[in-house]
Amino acid sequence: MPVCVGTGGELNGAVARAAEVADIVELRLDCLEGGELEAARGRLAELQRSARLPFIYTLRPAEEGGRRDLPAEERVRFWESAGPLLADGNGGASRLVDVELGLLESTHGPRVLQALEGLTIICSHHDFEETPEDLGSLYERMKRTGAGVLKIAVRARSITDCVPLLSLLARARREGREMIAVAMGEAGLLSRVLAPARGAYLTFGSLDSGQATAPGQVGARELRELYRVRNLGAGVGVTGLVGSPVGHSLSPHIHNAAFDARGIEAVYVPFEVADVSAFVRRMASPRTRELEWNLLGFSVTAPHKVAVMEHLDSVERTAAEVGAVNTVVVEGGGLRGFNTDAAAALKPLRERTELRGARVAVIGAGGAARAMLWGLKESGARACVFARDAARGSEVAAQFDAETATLSDANFGSFDVVVNATPLGTRGEREGDTAAVAAQLRGARLAYDLVYNPRETRFLKEAREAGCETVGGLSMLVAQASEQFKLWTGAEPPVDVMRAAAEKRLRSVA
């Protein structure tokens, strides 16, 4: 866990908090202001002894993410004065110093190596803009420095940027090299979770979301408790959520709790995917993927539920008729698509109303709307599609023998049920939006929002103001996740555990 504070007086408290969760503490000395660096120099060894944990000492330049810009000569002089103090006494192997590759390759390199004799050096390289094409040559340069640990941290612009980084980690493991591999940014979360299981020396987690020291860095407690990184082995089964955005999803909390409850060594990770074709080709399909991993399957959410279908080897009947896939299973050397949304979407409605003959307005024309329309048709309900894109709405309606109407100035007073099957109202940028307001909903008996995070959406608030009975999307989410769990593992899902995990997460972000 990185500790990044501005004054020496804050170090003791920050280190103590980090030591409650972390296995290794990184002291980001470049965060110290002005004269605070020199003032803290003599206290570093004692600080480590009091924490009783391995420490990484880091004094990073601004171009590699340092909080203030210190010239190379000044950094070298600091290591020359601090190095002997840090190496004094036992435990040199548990005292690590992060030195950037550029400094070790410069004319200052010999001085730095001499100053840090007796300590373990991490040779690091950080690229906050992109993932360089030739990581292999960078790795070879780092090996030549003689450092005990090699660290490469790059910016992942897409999830496929994790592939060369994790492949390089596998190479380091074969060669007996200690390595830290981090893909920064939301698209790189996979690397932070899986790297330890794939032989990485460590992974980084912050004290909390407000104290992250790199893009995409998640909390240490989240890594340990949600993703259970300390319990994952090399053969861990991997599942995840393919979509964009996916950061708001409750699915990691639901599925990881289920895996833990059933004692299954598997993990569920958000996969921030912009290009679903590239993801399937390079990471998912057993025939073409470039990453060796035990991928069990994955969930699919907006905007990929329809687009993913052309990249699968087979699609089961319901998903084919719905025209959307929300679940993919690695099966028989290929990828098979399923739709667990359709049955799950109808379950909360069946518990509250008779659907045969009911008039149901469905707002939206995407994958979630298609699943709902398929179920309504099977149940004998009379559905009407309302979509901003009238042409698309008409096309979808025709496929499920539904009526269609324009969304602008729509009035839902004559409907028994109104369903929001759009992402409007989802936590984040669209949280304040709604598919319909109270004036439009007045007269309808029941309003059903498929959005589940937040639990109390604006659509549901508007519906209650209009006098409607309301149903949120959490029940559907848990129902479809339960079926996914069964498809991936063959085990009976712990439904109560899954619901409790979802509710706990919703309370924590409310």
DSSP 3-state assignment of 346? helix
- Per-residue pLDDT at 95: 87
Domain boundaries for CATH 3.20.20.70 within the chain = 2-234
For the purposes of burial, counting CB atoms within 10 Å of the CB of 333, is it exposed (0-12), middle (13-18) or buried (19 or more)? exposed
Query: Can you tell me the distance from the alpha carbon of 197 to that of 262, in angstroms, rounded to the nearest whole number?
Result: 20
Which residues are tagged catalytic?
305
Residues of the chain with pLDDT under 50: none
- Per-residue pLDDT at 85: 85
The answer to whether 164 and 191 are in contact (CB under 8 A) is no
**pLDDT tens by residue, 114-148:** 999 989 999 999 999 999 999 999 999 999 999 99
Task: Give 118's contacts (C-beta < 8 A, 6+ positions apart).
Answer: 87, 92
C-alpha distance from residue 295 to each of 254, 334, 488, 490 (Å): 18, 11, 10, 15
Domain boundaries for CATH 3.40.50.10860 within the chain = 239-339+479-509
Length of the chain: 510
DSSP 359: E
Query: Can you tell me the distance from the alpha carbon of 28 to that of 376, in angstroms, rounded to the nearest whole number?
Result: 57
Task: Give 434's contacts (C-beta < 8 A, 6+ positions apart).
Answer: 420, 424, 425, 457, 458, 459, 462
Pairing of strands 178-184, 314-315: unpaired
Query: Can you tell me the distance from the alpha carbon of 481 to that of 267, in angstroms, rounded to the nearest whole number?
Result: 14
The answer to whether 510 and 454 are in contact (CB under 8 A) is yes
Task: Give 195's contacts (C-beta < 8 A, 6+ positions apart).
Answer: 166, 169, 180, 181, 182, 203
Task: Give 272's contacts (C-beta < 8 A, 6+ positions apart).
Answer: 159, 186, 187, 189, 243, 244, 245, 246, 247
Query: Can you tell me the distance from the alpha carbon of 325 to that of 338, in angstroms, rounded to the nearest whole number?
Result: 5
H-run or E-run covering 270: strand 266-272
| The CATH classification of domain 2-234, taken from the options 3.30.420.130, 3.30.565.10, 3.40.50.300, 3.20.20.70 | 3.20.20.70
Using CA atoms of 26, 29, 30, 31 in order, give the dihedral in degrees to the nearest 10. Answer: 80
- Per-residue pLDDT at 90: 52
What SS3 string covers 45-110? HHHHHHHCCCEEEECCCHHHCCCCCCCHHHHHHHHHHHHHHHHCCCCHHHEEEEEEHHHHHCCCHH
- Per-residue pLDDT at 89: 55
Domain boundaries for CATH 3.40.50.720 within the chain = 343-472
Identify the CATH class of 239-339+479-509. Answer: alpha beta
Model confidence, pTM: 0.90
Q: Phi/psi of residue 356, each to 5°?
A: -65, 120
The answer to whether 27 and 56 are in contact (CB under 8 A) is yes
Q: Domain 343-472: which topology?
A: Rossmann fold (3.40.50)
